[in-house]
């Protein structure tokens, strides 16, 4: 049967909606590149007969690289990957760190209800993400680049290496959702009457991806860093290709695939054909990852350039700014590869749609109490709720009590707001999560914190009744801050009118991938050393008095701490989801999650503290010049009920096959029925 709408479908190139491309003649690139325009017939021969047209065609490939932030729903002019629609939802909302509260998403309506089927819409669709179209276009480029006149061979080699990286990355985007895939190694003519594209094993798929990346890495024309970061940001480099290889090998070596037992029940066709696992466990797969990481860091030592953003001021605010600049700043040397999209926006072109949507609920990815408790105290010691509760009960102002779990300050007779403010937790907490009492502005030049405070207590200016009703962006008593970064102009954020970027590969993640490879190959001390490279950037280290000594001897405990460190450092970047899948952490899928209700305490006329559901910024502060910033609270954990995930019913049975089938997504039943070689994933 024909592989219709998948491997051919007469698509010559991906859409160029994300780019403004100028040329001397009127030429249509993108999905219509080989269609006949009104003025003339444009064919692949025309595209590849002109060096400038060829460059534009190649640039267009980048517009369909994976971009992880929902950014548009306008399908009238462009074909958008389904995952880019806010109506789909981000995979991290399926983990234990975030809960999504917008009812119109697939995450909320399908996944939380555990009602997904092979005829439904997974978060990353097999046919709806422009992956196959991009792969086809990249092969079309590779098959025709040598015939292009007026282009130096060195440029042809460089662009070819980039195209191979794009193919490998698009395969990896699917691989982590589906396992083994059909291996396409060229374009189809459209004249075929049938296709034979059987699903390949995990091993073959991994080799296919890494071979493409090795070919790109070996190309001397592929630079370590782009020659002009201001105009070439986002292009593949040798550094990015080496990092991509590490990500592929990391996923492949993980317990989902690299195990003595398949993840489901062993009886399915996909398991027996090794389409969803290797068929055994081998230490050598972790060693291969370790070698790839060592190759990367040896190349970094030899070539330089990439580095973590560091704090100029060794304060909590300075550490926050360094962390923020690492992923958000245009041209950050921490970023190995970023993808961008512009031209489609919820409100007006060129604005930062992600945080504009927060206030209308589409991006209500509320952090859970479980996530917040992952962040240690500011001295690196783990946060422990029971210990903090005990200290709070003895004295509400204790430095390690619940009343000080986000910040401490001094009540001043000369100021309404607390003075001498100290942040008491890991600085990254305040960049990943908006917490009670956090000031709304962080200066992008100095790191100074200023402005009104976020009032996350019940009845507060910001949270209002949302933590009680479990609604909107404050439903858990917290709000996400990643890619939002504060309040700013009309609630739209301090990054208004800046172009956002999705960090696809980064140096901080590479340190943590290397740490994992070291731990899995028995070098626990080396793992801790690499983790501390990342932690020191925000003034923390695991090698401090009071840290858990078992981390130096207990491999399982260290790896669990490493997975939490990845969540702290790489929040809302699909990393927690990836870790949940590749480590088969169905216990994360099935454990009920919690929020935090905070109640403001105010002294009555008798001097007794009592709860008041009253705002301060828009309340007492505005009407009473003597009113001081609230600094006494009561805290109440609560289990999330709206919307309760159906998989939480399996809290005591996380290895039930109904749960485990969600480790990989279902192929569309319609594609299975076409008979070109797809085998369905277990349980679907």
Determine the pLDDT at residue 192. Answer: 63
Q: How far apart are CA 403 and CA 473, in angstroms?
A: 23
- φ/ψ of 413, rounded to 5, equals -70, -15
C-beta of residue 246 within 8 angstroms of C-beta of residue 292? yes
Determine the pLDDT at residue 191. Answer: 62
C-beta of residue 110 within 8 angstroms of C-beta of residue 116? yes
- Longest C-alpha distance within the chain, in Å? 88
C-beta of residue 208 within 8 angstroms of C-beta of residue 283? no
Q: How far apart are CA 436 and CA 84, in angstroms?
A: 31
- pLDDT, tens digit, 9 for 90 and up, residues 274-305: 999 999 999 999 999 999 999 999 999 999 99
Q: How far apart are CA 43 and CA 51, in angstroms?
A: 15
User: pTM of the entire structure?
Assistant: 0.93
> Which ranges of 124-201 would DSSP assign to H, the alpha helix?
131-144, 153-178
C-beta of residue 28 within 8 angstroms of C-beta of residue 35? yes
Determine the pLDDT at residue 655. Answer: 97
Q: How far apart are CA 60 and CA 66, in angstroms?
A: 13
Partnered with residue 639 across adjacent β-strands are 594
C-beta of residue 299 within 8 angstroms of C-beta of residue 325? no
Q: How far apart are CA 107 and CA 93, in angstroms?
A: 7
C-beta of residue 136 within 8 angstroms of C-beta of residue 408? no
Instruction: Decide: helix, strand or coil at residue 494.
Output: coil
What is the DSSP code (8-state) at residue 488?
A: B
As a residue count, the chain comes to 684
Q: The tokens 């954020």 sit on which residue? A: 493
Sign of CA dihedral 342, 346, 349, 351: negative
Determine the pLDDT at residue 475. Answer: 96
**pLDDT averaged over consecutive 10-residue blocks of the chain (684 residues)?**
33 31 28 32 83 96 92 62 90 97 94 97 95 96 97 98 98 98 87 78 98 98 90 92 99 98 97 98 98 98 98 96 93 94 50 63 91 96 96 93 96 94 97 96 88 97 96 94 69 59 96 98 97 96 72 95 98 97 98 98 93 96 94 97 96 98 97 95 98
Output the six-digit token pair for 377: 């105290």
Q: How far apart are CA 465 and CA 457, in angstroms?
A: 9
Output the six-digit token pair for 466: 């949302």
Q: How far apart are CA 665 and CA 116, in angstroms?
A: 9
Of 101, 252, 115, nearest to 181 by C-alpha is 252
Q: Which helix (H) or strand (E) holds 19?
A: none
DSSP per residue over 220-281, as a string?
TTS-SS-S-HHHHTT---HHHHHHHHHHHHHHHHSTTTSSSS-SS-S-SHHHHTTSSS-SS-
C-alpha to C-alpha distances, 270 to 196, 293, 454, 608, 672, nearest whole angstrom:
18, 31, 50, 66, 13
Output the six-digit token pair for 114: 């555990």
DSSP per residue over 499-510, as a string?
PP-EEEEEHHHH
Rounded to 10 deg, the angle between the 51-61 and 153-178 helix axes is 20
Determine the pLDDT at residue 7. Answer: 35
Could you tell me if residue 328 is left (phi over 0), alpha (psi between -120 and 50 degrees) or otherwise beta? Answer: alpha
Average pLDDT in the chain: 89
Output the six-digit token pair for 406: 């986000």
How crowded is residue 77: how many other Cβ atoms within 10 Å of its Cβ? Answer: 10
- pLDDT, tens digit, 9 for 90 and up, residues 495-527: 666 667 899 999 999 999 999 999 999 999 999
Q: How far apart are CA 251 and CA 651, in angstroms?
A: 26
Tell me the HSE value of 519 on the side-chain side, using a 13 A CA sphere.
26
Could you tell me if residue 597 is left (phi over 0), alpha (psi between -120 and 50 degrees) or otherwise beta? Answer: beta
């Amino acid at each position: 049967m024909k592989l219709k709408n998948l491997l051919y479908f007469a698509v010559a190139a991906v859409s160029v909606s994300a780019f403004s491309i100028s040329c001397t003649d009127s030429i249509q690139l993108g999905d219509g590149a080989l269609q006949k325009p009104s003025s003339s017939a444009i064919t692949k021969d025309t595209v590849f007969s002109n060096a400038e047209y060829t460059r534009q065609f190649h640039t267009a490939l980048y517009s369909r690289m994976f971009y992880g932030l929902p950014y548009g729903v306008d399908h009238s002019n462009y074909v958008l990957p389904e995952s880019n629609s806010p109506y789909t939802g981000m995979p991290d909302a399926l983990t234990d760190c975030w809960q999504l509260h917008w009812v119109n998403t697939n995450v909320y309506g399908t996944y939380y209800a555990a009602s997904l089927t092979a005829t439904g819409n997974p978060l990353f669709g097999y046919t709806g993400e422009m992956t196959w179209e991009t792969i086809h276009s990249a092969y079309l480029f590779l098959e025709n680049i040598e015939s292009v006149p007026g282009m130096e061979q060195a440029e042809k080699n460089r662009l070819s290496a980039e195209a191979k990286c794009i193919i490998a990355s698009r395969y990896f985007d699917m691989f982590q959702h589906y396992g083994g895939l059909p291996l396409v190694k060229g374009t189809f003519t459209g004249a075929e009457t049938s296709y034979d594209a059987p699903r390949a094993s995990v091993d073959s798929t991994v080799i296919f991806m890494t071979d493409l990346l090795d070919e790109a890495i070996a190309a001397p024309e592929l630079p370590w860093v782009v020659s002009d970061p201001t105009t070439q940001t986002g292009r593949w480099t040798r550094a990015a290709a080496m990092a991509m290889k590490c990500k592929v090998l990391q996923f492949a070596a993980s317990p989902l695939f690299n195990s003595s037992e398949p993840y489901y029940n062993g009886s399915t066709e996909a398991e027996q054909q090794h389409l969803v696992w290797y068929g055994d466990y081998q230490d050598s797969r972790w060693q291969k990852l370790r070698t790839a990481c060592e190759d990367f860091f040896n190349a970094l030592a030899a070539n330089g350039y990439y580095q973590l953003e560091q704090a100029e001021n060794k304060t909590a605010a300075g550490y926050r700014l360094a962390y923020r600049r690492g992923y958000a700043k245009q041209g950050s040397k921490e970023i190995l590869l970023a993808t961008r999209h512009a031209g489609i926006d919820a409100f007006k072109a060129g604005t930062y749609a992600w945080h504009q949507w927060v206030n209308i609920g589409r991006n209500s990815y509320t952090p859970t109490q479980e996530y917040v408790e992952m962040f240690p105290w500011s001295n690196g010691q783990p946060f422990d709720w029971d210990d903090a509760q005990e200290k709070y009960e003895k004295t509400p102002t204790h430095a390690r009590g619940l009343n000080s779990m986000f910040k401490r300050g001094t009540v001043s007779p000369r100021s309404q707001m607390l003075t001498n403010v100290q942040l008491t937790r890991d600085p990254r907490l305040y960049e990943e999560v908006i917490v009670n009492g956090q000031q709304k502005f962080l200066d992008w030049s100095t790191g100074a914190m200023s402005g009104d405070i976020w009032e996350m207590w019940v009845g507060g200016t910001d949270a209002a009744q949302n933590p009680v009703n479990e609604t909107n962006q404050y439903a858990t008593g917290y709000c996400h801050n990643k890619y939002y970064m504060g309040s700013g102009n009309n609630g739209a954020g301090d990054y208004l009118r800046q172009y956002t970027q999705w960090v696809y590969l980064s140096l901080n993640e590479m340190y943590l991938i290397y740490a994992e490879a070291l731990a899995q190959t028995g070098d626990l001390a080396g793992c801790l050393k690499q983790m501390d490279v990342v932690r020191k950037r925000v003034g923390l280290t695991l090698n401090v008095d009071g840290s858990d000594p078992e981390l130096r001897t207990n491999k399982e405990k260290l790896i669990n701490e490493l997975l939490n460190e990845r969540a702290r450092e790489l929040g809302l970047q699909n990393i927690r989801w990836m870790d949940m899948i590749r480590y088969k952490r169905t216990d994360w899928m099935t454990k009920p999650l919690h929020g935090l209700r905070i109640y403001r305490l105010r002294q009555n006329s008798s001097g007794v503290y009592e709860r008041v559901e009253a705002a301060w910024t828009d309340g007492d502060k505005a009407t009473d010049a003597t009113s001081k910033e609230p600094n006494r609270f009561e805290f109440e954990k609560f289990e999330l009920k709206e919307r309760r995930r159906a998989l939480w019913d399996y809290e005591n049975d996380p290895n039930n096959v109904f749960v485990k089938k969600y480790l990989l997504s279902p192929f569309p039943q319609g594609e299975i029925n076409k008979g070109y070689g797809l085998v369905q994933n277990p349980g679907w």
